[in-house]
Amino acid sequence: MATTNRQTVPIRQFPAGLPETLAAEVDSLGEEIMAAIAREVPAYARPLEGGFGRGVRRGVAEALHRFLTVVEAGPHCAPDLAASREVYVRLGRGEVHSGRSLDNLLSAYRVGARVSWRCLGEAAVRHGGVDAAGLVSLAEMMFAYIDGISAASAEGYAAEQFAAGGERERLLDRIGEMLLTGAPADAVAQVAETASVRLPRRLAAVLIPARLEPQPVAGREPAASVVIPPGLLPAALVPAGLVPAGLVPAGSAVPAPGRTEPFLLPTDCPRAVQGQDTWLFVGSAERGPAQAALAKRLAGLAAVVGPAVPWGQAKASAARARFARDARSAGRLAGAVATDPLFTDEHLSALVLARDPGLVTDLATRLLAPLDGLPSRTRERLAETLLHWLSLRGQRGLIAERLHIHPQTVRYRVNQLRELFGPCLEDPDVRFDLELVLRAGATGTEPAAASDDGNGSAEPARPDPGAVTRH
């Protein structure tokens, strides 16, 4: 093992009267330290007035006087911070409340240590009797003392950050509950101010249904698990076992096959839990990249995104999201994939129809009566063809392309429809109502019992209500 020629400097007692000599420098040294801090640390480059100024002056004075007691104890004693430690813990906490980083305070300590060493070192030399070893011991004591008060401030800063973070999470939960229940705007604004939350001018309610079991969809990979960042869900949710299936705590999510990372939900936004449903209130993502990014984060969760509204109307956005979830669950939103995020603004007409399904059924029963008695498959095919014929304004080529059939087949089916419905197909009002009920996925009438459709095949008793809208 290699040896070193460096010799350890012996620790000696300081000469008598040195603490008193250093104490004479304290008053002027304190002002010099504060001037240097204001000059070299931009965050403190303001008049030392009010509570801020008193805090800085007290911290500097406490540090200098406490250091003198360390000198009096002698270089053989470890610095004792117990008596003044709370001062520096509070300074660290105060930096959190002031919105400054801990680096500013630690920089101020370093500036203070440099200025102090220059002044006190010169005073020690003038006092006499302090040799090189004594100066080294004095320097080591000073910088060990600064390390100690820096550690105390760092502890205070970390503790206050943790407490403030927990309080902010609780306030975000509270804001989410108030938005969901339609609390008065001034009450919401007051809590938001307390939490330092800037509510966006417009926001949307996002509903993540409870007990979501990711389901495989034909031709698609299973839905991914979703990471909930710490603090996203209210604290009471997880212990109660109410985390919806498919939502898992951060660190335990397993990505879907073919993916390298799990999805992440939006964070730092108001949220709430109602029953077993999770609610988020996010900034407006009505179109473009913002909506695409939100859709990616919500993929596989069967989430429903309400309309973007002024935040004072968040309850209305939540109500529409809740209604859309129920309509999709009841099969009244044709084309809405169960696990995909559903943006309600993209399904307004379907939601209007879903508002009173009984009316739609009654209208379909009356309008689609000409299809009564047809075999199921024939009825389904004709209804599908009729919807495309109405929506594409009779363009036979486009209809054939959408249905993947020959144009002649389109003409044959349209002729059948004309025979069944007669002149009413030329009536604009009837055409509108027909398209309306067909888009709603309502057939309205009971088909005939299973029979031959003319192609020699038996048919099921009733088609899927949404089948007429599938291509």
The full 3-state SS of 171-230, as one line of letters, equals: HHHHHHHHHHHCCCHHHHHHHHHHCCCCCCCEEEEEEECCCCCCCCCCCCCCCCCEEECC
DSSP code string of 358-393: HHHHHHHHHHTGGGTTS-HHHHHHHHHHHHHHHHTT
**Is 224 in contact with 256 (CB distance < 8 Å)?**
yes
* Region 413-432 average pLDDT: 91
* Region 314-322 average pLDDT: 94
Q: Which of 22, 34, 16, 107 is nearest to 66 (CA)?
A: 22
pLDDT reported for residue 11: 43
Q: Is pLDDT larger for residue 172 or for residue 6?
A: 172
pLDDT reported for residue 56: 73
Question: Which secondary-structure segment (H or E) carries 283?
Answer: strand 277-283
DSSP code string of 23-68: HTTHHHHHHHHHHHHHHH-GGG-S---HHHHHHHHHHHHHHHHHHH
- Residue 63 pLDDT > 90, yes or no? no
Averaged pLDDT score across all residues of the chain: 74
- Residue 121 pLDDT > 60, yes or no? yes
- The whole-angstrom separation of Cα 296 and Cα 118 is 59
CB atoms within 10 A of CB 352: 12
Mean pLDDT comparison of 121-130, 146-155, 224-233, highest-scoring range: 146-155
- Residue 208 pLDDT > 60, yes or no? yes
* Region 81-104 average pLDDT: 79
Q: Is pLDDT larger for residue 470 or for residue 318?
A: 318
pLDDT reported for residue 221: 42
Burial class (CB in 10 A: 0-12, 13-18, 19+), 187: exposed
pLDDT reported for residue 212: 42
Alpha carbon distances (Å) from 269 to 122, 234, 278, 281: 56, 12, 13, 6
pLDDT reported for residue 75: 61
The alpha carbon of 378 is separated from its chain's Cα centroid by a whole number of angstroms, namely: 50
363 pLDDT band, cuts 50/70/90, is confident
pLDDT reported for residue 261: 45
pLDDT reported for residue 227: 38
Q: What are phi and psi of 274, to 5 degrees?
A: -125, 115
pLDDT reported for residue 448: 37
52 pLDDT band, cuts 50/70/90, is low
Q: What is the share, in percent, of the chain residues with pLDDT greater than 70?
A: 72
Q: Is pLDDT larger for residue 122 or for residue 210?
A: 122
Q: What are phi and psi of 453, to 5 degrees?
A: -95, 15
pLDDT reported for residue 225: 36
Mean pLDDT comparison of 44-48, 220-224, 319-323, highest-scoring range: 319-323
**Is 353 in contact with 432 (CB distance < 8 Å)?**
no
Mean pLDDT comparison of 66-70, 80-84, 209-213, 347-351, highest-scoring range: 347-351
Sheet order of strands, 263-264 included: 247-249, 226-228, 263-264
Q: Is pLDDT larger for residue 218 or for residue 264?
A: 264
* pLDDT tens digit sequence for 18-41: 777 777 777 788 888 888 888 888
Q: Is pLDDT larger for residue 284 or for residue 187?
A: 187
Residue limits of CATH 1.10.490 in the chain: 18-165
pLDDT reported for residue 316: 94
CA atoms within 13 A on the CB side of 30: 19
pLDDT reported for residue 238: 36
pLDDT reported for residue 49: 63
Classified as helix, coil or strand, 451 is coil
Cβ partners under 8 Å of residue 443, min gap 6: 364, 368, 371, 379, 383, 463, 465, 468
- Residue 445 pLDDT > 50, yes or no? no
User: What CATH number is given for 18-165 in this structure?
Assistant: 1.10.490
Cβ partners under 8 Å of residue 248, min gap 6: 225, 226, 227, 228
Cβ partners under 8 Å of residue 339, min gap 6: 212, 214, 215, 217, 223, 299, 300, 301, 302
Q: Which of 208, 203, 145 is nearest to 178 (CA)?
A: 203
What is residue 458's DSSP assignment?
B
For the four alpha carbons of 374, 377, 378 and 379, in that order, the dihedral sign comes to positive
**Is 75 in contact with 53 (CB distance < 8 Å)?**
no
Mean pLDDT comparison of 79-93, 263-277, 354-368, highest-scoring range: 354-368
* pLDDT tens digit sequence for 380-392: 899 999 999 998 8
- Residue 246 pLDDT > 50, yes or no? no
Q: Which of 312, 272, 275 is nearest to 172 (CA)?
A: 272
264 pLDDT band, cuts 50/70/90, is low
Cβ partners under 8 Å of residue 389, min gap 6: 399, 410, 414, 417
Worst-scoring range by mean pLDDT, 26-30, 64-68, 457-461?
A: 457-461
